[in-house]
Amino acid sequence: MKILVANLGSTSFKYRLFDMETETQLARGGIDRIGQPGAESSCSVEIGSHKSERTQVVPDHASAVQICLEQLTDSETGCISSVEEVAAIGFKAVFAGKLSGVRKVDNELLEMMDELSDVAPAHNPPYVKAMRELQAAFPEMPLVAALETGFHESIPQANRLYAVPFEWQEKYSIQRWGFHGASHRFIGQRTAELLGRDDLKIVSCHLGGSSSLCAQKGGQSMATTMGMTPQTGLPQNNRVGDFDPFALPLLMRKSGKSLEELLSELGKSGGLLGLSGGLSSDIRDLEEAAGNNHEGAQRALDVYVANIRHYIGAYMAVLEGIDALVFTGGIGENSQYIRQHVCAGFDWAGLKLDESINQTARDEGSLTAAESKVQIWIVPTNEELVVARQTESLITK
């Protein structure tokens, strides 16, 4: 069985094709600038050793999928003989409230995602639009949404509820939903394979443009940093992270800005970008600037690291111990600076990083010092494979 996994943006479409018999990736590709007036899209594909790229106007996501299928079935360079070989398209969807888990894409799901677009404004609108386009263009092909919140359904109420009137939770689903579910699920499964145990207490650190931590016990989520929305938890690249809502009336009064304007600033000009004084939201830029004594860059790095360390300590308490600390995501896999400073001073918990290995480590592997009682690893995530597995499971039931 072959599953196509789609990762959508408002003007982009990235995909991977998996052969589920061997769980191997057959192809990957991407198309950008979809639906942009007067703009040509870059349509790239990688199938085995063959790589190609061309430009053309792509009016919508349905057209992008059609181009993708043409690439995959090309008589000379393709990896499948016909579109019929694709059993389903799986989507790494973000938020649909109580319609969580893994679900067939239908009108009920799309209406709920549309209704909750203000919770995930950067994610839900492009997914809803694209899914509707694909329903119309490929009515016979199953579309499956693997909601990021699904992995966190195991979180106990004590770690899940806000201290708000309980009827808000019952009527409006106001609670900590958590996100990055596919990534944290993969990290839990892969770390269990690497260490040969299925009862591990793991803190998985998905650190990238969007960051979150998850406390896992025996492969189940017990707590996670993101809450009701992906704007919460750790400072993100340009999103605020945790913030006291009672500051908003003061900001409205002092700045003269509306609630909508302030929320937009918190979602677009906050996080690392805001902390650095507008310098950059990219850790690589911040590390370089901090090395040249840029005060704002150092401030952003310090706050980011402090927040990660805060949650690691908290999750040690949630789990009543820790067996493994795992780094993943673009920052987690590539920034030796962040890993070093996050792990510093945890000797009291039996957690010690091997500094020499950390300096050059990038691929999957252990960073654990010989005297450390806690395993420290880099594990590159594979969210698309998780979505492919979930999609296969649903359509073969």
Under the banding of pLDDT at 50, 70 and 90, the label for residue 254 is very high
- Per the domain annotation, does 86 fall within a domain? yes
Is residue 133's pLDDT more than 80?
yes
Residue 140 sits in the same domain as residue 227: no
Give the domain-ending residue among 131, 146, 161: 146
333 is in an annotated binding site: yes
Does one domain contain both 201 and 135? no
What does the block give as tokens for 82? 């016909």
Domain-located, residue 272: yes
Please indicate, yes or no, whether residues 213 and 348 belong to a single structural domain of this protein. yes
Question: In total, how many domains does the chain have?
Answer: 2
Q: How confident is the model at residue 239 (pLDDT cuts 50, 70, 90)?
A: very high
Q: Does 257 count as an annotated binding residue?
A: no
The verdict on residue 153 lying in a domain is no
Whether 344 is in a domain gets the answer: yes
pLDDT single digits (tens) 27-41: 999 999 888 888 898
Q: Tell me the per-residue pLDDT of 157-175, one tens digit each, with 9 for 90 and over.
A: 999 999 999 999 999 999 9
> Looking at the domain assignment, is residue 63 inside a domain?
yes
Shared domain for 209 and 325, answered yes or no, is yes
Please indicate, yes or no, whether residues 236 and 366 belong to a single structural domain of this protein.
yes
**Span 232-252, average pLDDT:** 96
Q: Is the pLDDT of residue 8 over 90?
A: no
Whole-number mean pLDDT of the chain? 95
Q: Tell me whether residue 330 is annotated as binding.
A: yes
User: What's the pLDDT at 142?
Assistant: 95
- Give the number of other Cβ atoms within 10 Å of residue 346's Cβ: 20
Given this model, what pLDDT does residue 11 score? 78
pLDDT on residue 128: 93
Query: Annotation-wise, does 383 bind a ligand?
Result: yes
Q: 313: domain range?
A: 195-378
Do the beta carbons of residue 313 and residue 225 sit within 8 Å?
A: no
Residue 389 is labelled as binding a ligand:
no
Please check if 283 is assigned to a binding site: yes
Q: Note the pLDDT tens digit of each residue in 359-381.
A: 999 899 999 999 999 999 999 99
| Alpha helix segments (H runs only) across the chain | 61-72, 107-115, 124-137, 157-160, 166-172, 181-195, 247-255, 259-268, 271-275, 283-291, 295-319, 329-334, 336-343, 355-360, 383-395
Which is more confident, 13 or 180? 180
The pLDDT value given to residue 10: 66
User: What is the CATH classification number for the domain harbouring 107?
Assistant: 3.30.420.40
Is 382 annotated in some ligand binding site? no
Residue 225 belongs to some domain of the structure: yes
Q: State whether 141 and 201 are in the same domain.
A: no
Please tell me whether 153 is known to bind a ligand. Answer: no
User: Is residue 397 over pLDDT 90?
Assistant: no
Asked if residue 38 belongs to a domain, the reply is: yes
Tell me if 284 is assigned to a ligand binding site.
yes
pLDDT tops 90 at residue 60 = no
pLDDT in tens, 263-293: 999 999 999 999 999 999 999 999 999 999 9
